[in-house]
């Protein structure tokens, strides 16, 4: 009986019904946090002494980069849960997380490049962090490509979960080796001019943005998962009922 | 009359499971024989490796200093591509004629069958690549100091590449044309091997010791040797389900 909630969690129908209640809340909270964070960060936070206004891209860059990595781990964990407990829903969450993660990684790379131009004087630099983000993007794209290539959804789910897990084992190794590589090949020409402690007046809006990004991520992930559930389960009675009642 | 002592079946099965060694070596011999009989498949990756490397000086110019500067990276990237191209065929033939399913049905874990296949793949692609490396060093005006680290790093590194790539080959074996997809999903995982492989040669050329890079490659090889056949075996079971 203690496992009942766990089994229920694995049912796409249960998730679909529950999440329709969560969706407006998640949307409202993330919009509130994001709007407050953007207005505070871009309009009211003080200028940086060295970087001027250009540092303000941090309010997009850092949350996107954080979530890009966290998203990969979320994908790996849900893939593992799917493989171990054969849970349909967690495979769907994994599949939904891949394009979102890729988009966030891409956003982190683009904002990083735009930030690099005024501060470092170049859009692209083979710095350890940038390079490992690029490889993370390739990992995401590979998983998406694999999921599209396998026609049988059941196989695609398991194959993607396995590839994600292999990638998880590799991420620390890739990160460490790229770090080693760039420290060897690039003796401190360009350093990320990040102050070790960021002033509270700049930090609070950043915190708001990070929280807002997390809520936004949860919202998008839920929305994507709901679409995948409908696609997968459209033959079932409950989806047909929803269709006839025009509730979608 | 027909009563068997309880547990008779189990002991039979247990005996069967214990015999991993003979099965492994039989498979190894069979795979090697097959590989040696398909000579074009054996030679093609090597020809690709040498041909593309011969195109490089034509493309970038024949200045010896420039070639020396680029040699470690170019040779390593080409070794990576050659391994990747040959990887596609790793499980393909066995998948198409159904023997992969039979291997999966064996009482022995799939781990050993996969390990045997990877070992043979390395013997017929990675090892010749490493043996060819002095010739390429000559073509690319590599200083004498670079020859040994190039050969050793290729020796260790191509084994890592074969192991890691086998996971991708197993995941895509059910697809009709897996070539590009295999490259897409496996390339990011090759990054550490590339870094330390070309790093070893570069370090030797710069006059430093290169044992650290080789040690890291050996560490990656041991980890991949223990884990990659496991993942590839699981991937084969997933693909057979397709």
Assess if residue A193 is contained within a domain. yes
pTM as predicted = 0.87
**Residue from A98, A96, A67, A113 nearest A216 by CA:** A67
Angle, CA of B168, B114 and A136, to the nearest 5°: 25
Q: Please name the residue of chain B whose CA is at the shortest distance from the CA of residue A158.
A: B238
Sign of the alpha-carbon torsion through B237, B238, B241, B242: negative
* Tens digit of pLDDT at every position of chain A (248 positions): 566 666 677 788 888 888 888 899 999 999 999 999 989 988 888 877 777 788 888 889 999 999 999 999 999 999 999 999 888 899 999 999 999 999 999 999 999 888 888 887 888 888 788 888 999 999 999 999 999 998 888 899 999 999 999 999 888 888 888 888 877 655 444 444 444 466 777 888 889 999 999 999 999 999 999 999 998 888 888 888 888 887 66
- Chain B interface test: which of A82, A177, A186, A187 (most B C-beta within 10 Å): A177
Which pLDDT belongs to residue A189? Answer: 42
Between CA A77 and CA B84 the distance in angstroms is: 28
Q: Is residue A232 part of a domain?
A: yes
Residue A8 resides in a domain: no
Answer whether A163 sits within 8 Å of B187, measured CB to CB: no
Separation CA A118–CA A127 (nearest Å): 16
Question: Which two structure tokens, joined as six digits, stand for A68?
Answer: 């890009």
Of B159, B142, B119, which is closest to residue B30 (Cα–Cα)?
A: B119
Query: Would you say residue A50 lies in a domain?
Result: yes
Q: Report the Cα A207 to chain-centroid distance in Å.
A: 17
B181 has a chain A CB within 8 A of its CB: yes
Per-residue model confidence as pLDDT tens digits over B94-152: 899 888 998 888 887 889 889 999 999 999 999 999 999 888 888 888 898 889 999 99
- DSSP-derived letter for residue B241 is T
Say if the Cβ atoms of B172 and A149 lie within 8 Å. yes
Q: Using N-to-C axis directions, what is the helix angle for B20-37 and B39-60, rounded to 10°?
A: 60
Q: CA dist B120 to B28, B42, B154, B236, Å? A: 7, 11, 16, 18
In a domain, A242, yes or no: yes
- Whether B240 has its CB under 8 Å from any CB of chain A: the answer is no
Q: Is residue A10 part of a domain?
A: no
Query: What whole-number distance in Å separates Cα of residue A169 and Cα of residue B223?
Result: 11
Q: Are B188 and A135 in contact (CB under 8 A)?
A: yes
CA A107/CA A216 separation, integer angstroms? 14
Distance (Å) from the alpha carbon of A201 to chain B's nearest alpha carbon: 39
Record: contact A178-B191, CB cut-off 8 A? yes
Domain ranges of chain B: 22-240
ipTM of this predicted complex? 0.84
Q: Where are the alpha helices (DSSP H) in chain B?
A: 8-18, 20-37, 39-60, 64-87, 92-96, 99-105, 110-121, 127-139, 147-171, 179-205, 211-240
Q: Which domain holds residue A180?
A: 24-246
CB count within 10 Å of CB B101 equals 12
Q: Among positive and negative, which fits the CA dihedral B73, B78, B81, B86?
A: negative
Q: What is the spatial distance between Cα B216 and Cα B193, in angstroms, rounded to a whole number? A: 9
A14 falls within a domain:
no
User: How many folded domains does chain A comprise?
Assistant: 1
CA A143 – CA A206 distance, rounded (Å): 31
- Domain presence at residue A18: no
How close B230 comes to chain A (CA, Å)? 11
| Look-up of token digits 């794209």 | A141
For residues A193 and A115, the answer to whether their CB atoms sit within 8 Å is no
A80 lies within 8 A of chain B by CB: no
């Amino acid at each position: 009986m203690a496992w009942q909630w766990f089994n229920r969690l694995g049912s796409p129908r249960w998730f679909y019904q529950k999440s329709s209640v969560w969706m407006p809340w998640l949307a409202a909270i993330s919009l509130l946090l994001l709007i407050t964070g953007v207005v505070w960060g871009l309009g009211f936070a003080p200028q940086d002494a060295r970087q001027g206004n250009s540092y303000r891209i941090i309010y997009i860059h850092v949350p996107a980069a954080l979530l890009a990595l966290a998203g990969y781990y979320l994908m790996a964990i849900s893939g593992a849960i799917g493989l171990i407990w054969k849970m349909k829903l967690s495979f769907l969450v994994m599949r939904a997380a891949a394009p979102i993660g890729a988009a966030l990684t891409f956003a982190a790379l683009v904002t990083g490049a735009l930030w690099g131009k005024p501060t470092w004087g170049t859009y692209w630099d083979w710095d350890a962090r940038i390079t490992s983000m690029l490889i993370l993007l390739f990992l995401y794209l590979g998983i998406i490509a694999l999921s599209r290539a396998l026609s049988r959804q059941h196989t695609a789910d398991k194959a993607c979960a396995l590839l994600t897990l292999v990638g998880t084992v590799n991420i620390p190794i890739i990160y460490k080796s790229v770090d080693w590589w760039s420290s060897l090949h690039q003796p401190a020409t360009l350093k990320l001019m990040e102050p070790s402690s960021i002033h509270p007046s700049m930090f609070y809006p950043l915190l708001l943005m990070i929280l807002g990004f997390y809520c936004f991520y949860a919202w998008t992930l839920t929305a994507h998962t709901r679409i995948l559930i409908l696609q997968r389960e459209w033959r079932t009675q409950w989806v047909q009922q929803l269709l006839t009642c025009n509730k979608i | 009359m027909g009563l068997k002592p309880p547990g008779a079946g189990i002991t039979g099965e247990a005996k069967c499971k214990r015999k991993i060694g003979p099965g492994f070596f039989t498979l190894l011999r069979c795979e090697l024989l097959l590989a040696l009989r398909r000579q074009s498949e054996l030679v093609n990756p090597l020809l690709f490796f040498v041909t593309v490397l011969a195109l490089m000086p034509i493309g970038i110019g024949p200045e010896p200093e420039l070639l020396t500067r680029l040699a470690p990276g170019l040779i390593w990237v080409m070794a990576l591509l050659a391994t990747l191209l040959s990887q596609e065929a790793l499980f393909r033939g066995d998948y198409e004629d159904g023997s992969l399913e039979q291997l999966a049905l064996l009482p022995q874990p799939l781990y050993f069958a996969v390990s045997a296949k990877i070992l043979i793949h390395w013997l017929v692609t990675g090892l010749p690549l490493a043996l060819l490396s002095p010739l390429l060093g000559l073509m690319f005006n590599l200083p004498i100091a670079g020859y040994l680290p190039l050969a050793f790093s290729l020796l260790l590194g191509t084994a890592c590449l074969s192991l890691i790539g086998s996971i991708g080959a197993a995941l895509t074996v059910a697809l009709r044309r897996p070539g590009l997809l295999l490259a897409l999903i496996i390339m990011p995982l090759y990054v550490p091997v590339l870094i330390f492989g070309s790093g070893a040669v570069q370090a030797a050329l710069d006059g430093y010791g290169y044992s650290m890079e080789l040690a890291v490659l050996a560490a990656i090889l041991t980890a991949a040797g223990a884990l990659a056949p496991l993942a590839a075996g699981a991937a084969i079971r997933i693909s057979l389900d397709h």
